[in-house]
Structure 1
């Protein structure tokens, strides 16, 4: 499983201008996922963010996550949250078998349930069409989605595990680790290196370390609001 660290260092930009360019809008040195997907923006150079490249594609009232960028917000933008997260890379052993054979591949018919679970569990930016970015898998009970995990960012040799959620009523049953191992096994068998993001204060960070992920880097993450029309 080989990958370029320079790509992983700027994975949001690499995804939005590479495999996910068809889901992106923006110009110059700035991109965003189009409305309906995960509300994320990225810059070619976070040290010199090209907000002009987002002028025509971001509406007043929209909120976005942004990785690595620091500094004051330009006119028409407001920083609502500033925190940090770990970018973690898999260094464990590939699971020998499917650890969640009962999981169902999520499709458009499951999108509303996936969004509802994400809003409840808050795994990170998630939109109605996020499940189109990769393979998302869910576990259902009595027709209700109680756990899910899937794939979001992609770049050559790399694939992100994202959207990891377990309904509060189903926690403590090992559903999230089983789904994560299911997803990363598929990625490894394809020749990709799995990676993920987790907020610095999320207890799941310790779980991921025990599973076989390692901290690659800690980075600033912000939630920005567009406060003025383009």
Structure 2
């Protein structure tokens, strides 16, 4: 079953989340407006010829598990590695007194506030429609969104915890962690297995997730690439 995690974006885009995807038998992407992520049936030998017709010139995408030659028509923007982590802890306690609100993916103001916070804090690939991919919980200061955590990729039973971020002016209160606990609790009660990604360079977040109850499943290559002439 853990083989799903070895190529999680492909299994999400070709399985439970195929209705959010565009592409063909060997290559898919989240549709425009969602998180700009590519998935390939063979992650180590991605079929860029198949996915190119579904990508516009200038679009940037994240691509995991691949470190080969950059194909013609594409440009490398950045590359690094990230940890893929899986939950191994106890179920978090319920916190009914913590006033989190679910973001409404069909509410334009919610979607725009989530996008603005993601652009400010850069928790990973994010789009205006990303909050349609799962449950996104948020903490507000009056009407201002200041912290959120949600769900992105899903290949049953594995569901990703993603979009975890806090506005710089509101950090240190533990709100994002408490939002994560609510997400993780819901997933575990639904017999899902939480997992997440964190960049290797983000030592503070990696250490926090280890303390919370995640363990490292693997370290994998991740690239940002752009379709060009």
Same fold (TM over 0.5): yes
Q: Distance in 1 between matches of 2:43 and 2:143?
A: 43
Question: Are 1:207 and 2:204 counterparts?
Answer: no
The verdict on how the C-alpha distance between 1:174 and 1:114 changes in structure 2, with shifts beyond 3 A counting, is same
Q: Which runs of 5+ in 2 are unaligned?
A: none
Match of 2:143 in 1: 143
d(CA) in 1 for partners of 2:139 and 2:25? 41
Shift of residue 163, structure 1, vs aligned partner? 0.2
Shift of 1:99: 6.6
Structure 1 ranges of 4+ moved more than 4 A: none
Does the alignment pair 1:194 with 2:194?
yes
1:218 pairs with 2:219 = yes
Match of 1:54 in 2: 51
Rounded Cα–Cα distance in structure 1 between residues aligned with 2:93 and 2:157: 21
Q: Structure 1, residues 22-75: CA drift from partner, whole Å, max 9, x if none?
A: 111111311101100000001111222111111211010000000001111111
CA deviations over 1:174-209 (Å, ceiling 9, x no partner): 111101101000000000010000000112000000
User: In structure 2, which of residues 26, 29, 34 is the aligned counterpart of residue 32 of structure 1?
Assistant: 29
Partner Cα separation in structure 1 for residue 146 and residue 85 of structure 2: 25
Distance 1:27 1:100, change over 3 A: farther
The one of 21, 39, 42 aligned to 2:39: 42
CA distance in structure 1 between the partners assigned to 2:220 and 2:196 by the alignment: 13
Greater shift, 44-53 or 73-82, is seen at 44-53
Aligned mates of 2:207, 2:97 — CA distance in 1: 21
- In the alignment, structure 1 segments of 5+ residues that lack a partner are none
SS of 2:54's equivalent in the other structure is: coil
**May I ask how many residue pairs the two structures share in their alignment?**
225
Does the 8 Å contact 1:30/1:54 carry over to 2? Answer: yes
Q: Residue 86 of structure 1 aligns with which residue?
A: 83
Alignment RMSD (CA, Å): 1.0
Match for residue 158 of structure 1? 158
SS at the partner of 1:150?
strand
